[in-house]
C-alpha cells in the first residue's frame, strides 16, 4: 500500500470536494470501461493533482494502470529529478518514452523551431508510445479553462485510429454517462480535471499537501529575456546571442514544459499561500507564458487535431 497521507474527509462538502468526487468517478469509469488505460504524467501541477486523485480513487488498492511520461529531452532538470523521486516514493509503474528517431535527427527547439520540436518530440512521441504499448485510453490533466478549443472538448474525448480529434464529430456527453465504446485501434483521451481551474488546482494542492516541482516557487534563477519572455538558462544547450548575459532574477513558473519554450514570471511567491494570492490577483491568463500556444491563431485546435494532448 502506498505510503502517502491524505487529509481527513471534511464534514462539510465544499466545491473542491465535489470536483474531487467527480474526477474520481471519471477515473474509475475509465479503468472499468477500457481495456488498457494509461495515465499521462507531465510532472506539472495538474499531473500532481491527477496522480493524487488516482490514488484516492483506487485506495486502498494500487493504481490499475501505468503512468507514462513523454520526455522531449528538453524538460527542466528539476522536473526530471522530481519525477524520478515521486515514482520511487509512490512505487509507480512509470514508463518514460522518448522519440528516438527525433533524437537521431537532432530535433530541438533552437535548431528546428518550437513548432516542429513540439510536433516531433511531443505529439509524434505520444502517438508512438500509445501505439507501441497498445493503450486504448490515456488519462491526462488538461483543463477546459486553459484554452478556447479545450473549453469545447469532452471529458471522454474520442480519437480515431490516427489519433485525430474531430471537433465536429464529438459524442454528446449528458449526465455522468461516459461512452467509452470504440473500434479496435481507436482510442480515448480522458480529462478528469476538465472542470477545474488553475485556482482550484492550487487550492487543492494546498488542502491536500500535494508535492509539486520547486520551479513553481520563486527564487533567484538565471534568465535571459527574449521577445518579452523570460527564458531560464537551465543547461548549456541554450545558445546565447552575442552580448547576451543571463541575469539572476527572482522568478517562478506558472506552467511547466520544455524549458526553452516556457516563460518565467517575476515573482516573490515562495509558499502555496503566496501562489494562491498571486493567482487571484493576476491579470494574465496562465498560458500567456507559453511560446508554443502563440504559433498562430487557433494553434491549439490544430495541434489537438493532429494528436497533441
Partner 1 sequence: MNILADPIELARDAVLYSHENKSLLRFIACGSVDHGKSSLLGRLLFDARLVPDDQIETLRKDTGQLTGPDNELDFSLLFDGLAAEREQKITIDLAYRFFATAKRKFIVADAPGHEQYTRNMATGASTAELALILINAQSGLTQQTRRHALIAATLGVRHLVIAINKMDIVGYAQDVFDAIERDFRAFATRLGDVELIFIPVSAKKGDNVVHRSRAMAWYRGPTLLEKLETVDATPRAAKAAFRMAVQWVSRPTPDFRGYCGLIAGGIVTPGQEIVVQPSGQRTRIKEIITAGGELARATIGQSVTLTLTDDVDVSRGDILADAAAPASVSDRFNARIFWMGQSGDTGALAPGGRFHIKLGTAKAAARIAGPIKLIDLAEDAAIKPADSLLSNEFGLCTLELDRPLAADAYDDNRDTGSFVLIDAESHDTVAMGLIERASAEEQAAPVRTSLIGHVALRVARLFGARESHSRSIAKALSWRFTGSFDTFIIGWLITGNSKVAGSIALTEIVTKIALYYFHERAWALVPWGRR
Window 35 to 54, contacts with partner 1 (CB under 8 A): none
Among 66, 276, 306, 309, binds partner 1 (CB under 8 A): 276
Name residues contacting partner 1, limited to 196-215 (CB under 8 A). Answer: 197, 199-200, 203, 206-207
The stretch near partner 1 (CB under 8 A) out of 111-119, 132-140, 192-200, 249-257 is 192-200
Q: Which is closer to partner 1, CB of 120 or CB of 180?
A: 180
SS3 assignment, position 246: coil
Burial of 275 (0-12, 13-18, 19+ CB in 10 A): buried
Query: For partner 1, which is the closer residue by CB, 59 or 110?
Result: 59
Distance spanning both ends of the chain, measured CA to CA? 31
Least distance between partner 1 and beta carbon 292 (Å): 16
Q: Which of residues 125-144 bind partner 1 (CB under 8 A)?
A: 144
Using the rule CB under 8 A, is 24 a contact of partner 1?
yes
Q: With the C-alpha atoms ordered 147, 148, 149, 152, is the resulting torsion angle positive or negative?
A: positive
- Say which residue the cell 499521462 belongs to: 40
Q: Is 290 in the site for partner 1 (CB under 8 A)?
A: no
Q: What are phi and psi of 103, to 5 degrees?
A: -65, -45
- Is there binding between residue 238 and partner 1 (CB under 8 A)? no
**β-strand partners of 163:** none
Q: Measure the CA–CA gap between 140 and 81, rounded to whole angstroms.
A: 21
Grid coordinates of 59 = 485506495
What residues between 166 and 185 interact with partner 1 by CB under 8 A? 167-168, 170-177, 179, 181-183
Contact status: 152 vs partner 1 (CB under 8 A):
yes
Amino acid at each position: 500500500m502506498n505510503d502517502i497521507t491524505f487529509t481527513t474527509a471534511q464534514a462539510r462538502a465544499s466545491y473542491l470536494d465535489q470536483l474531487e468526487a467527480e474526477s474520481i468517478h471519471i477515473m474509475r469509469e475509465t479503468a472499468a470501461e477500457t481495456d488498457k488505460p494509461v495515465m499521462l504524467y507531465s510532472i506539472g501541477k495538474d499531473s500532481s493533482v491527477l496522480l493524487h486523485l488516482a490514488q484516492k480513487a483506487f485506495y486502498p488498492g494500487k493504481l490499475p494502470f501505468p503512468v507514462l511520461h513523454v520526455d522531449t529531452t528538453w524538460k527542466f532538470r528539476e522536473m526530471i529529478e522530481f519525477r524520478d523521486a515521486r515514482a520511487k516514493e509512490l512505487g509507480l509503474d512509470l514508463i518514460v518514452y522518448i522519440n528516438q528517431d527525433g533524437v537521431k535527427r537532432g530535433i530541438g527547439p533552437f535548431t528546428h523551431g518550437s513548432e516542429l520540436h513540439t510536433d516531433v518530440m511531443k505529439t509524434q512521441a505520444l502517438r508512438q508510445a500509445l501505439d507501441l504499448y497498445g493503450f486504448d485510453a490515456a488519462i491526462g490533466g488538461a483543463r477546459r479553462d486553459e484554452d478556447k478549443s479545450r473549453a469545447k472538448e469532452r471529458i471522454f474525448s474520442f480519437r480515431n485510429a490516427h489519433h485525430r480529434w474531430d471537433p465536429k464529430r464529438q459524442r454528446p456527453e449528458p449526465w455522468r454517462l461516459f461512452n467509452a465504446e470504440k473500434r479496435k485501434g481507436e482510442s480515448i483521451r480522458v480529462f478528469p480535471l476538465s472542470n477545474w481551474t488553475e485556482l482550484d488546482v492550487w487550492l487543492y494542492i494546498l488542502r491536500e499537501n500535494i508535492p509539486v516541482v520547486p520551479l513553481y516557487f520563486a527564487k533567484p534563477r538565471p534568465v535571459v529575456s527574449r521577445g518579452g519572455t523570460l527564458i531560464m538558462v537551465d543547461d548549456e544547450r541554450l545558445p546565447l546571442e552575442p552580448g547576451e548575459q543571463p541575469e539572476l532574477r527572482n522568478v517562478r513558473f506558472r506552467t511547466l514544459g520544455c524549458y526553452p519554450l516556457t516563460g518565467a514570471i517575476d515573482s516573490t511567491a515562495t509558499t502555496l499561500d503566496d501562489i494562491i494570492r498571486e493567482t487571484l490577483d493576476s491579470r494574465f491568463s496562465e498560458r500567456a507564458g507559453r511560446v508554443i500556444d502563440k504559433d498562430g491563431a487557433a494553434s491549439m485546435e490544430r495541434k489537438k487535431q493532429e494528436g497533441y494532448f
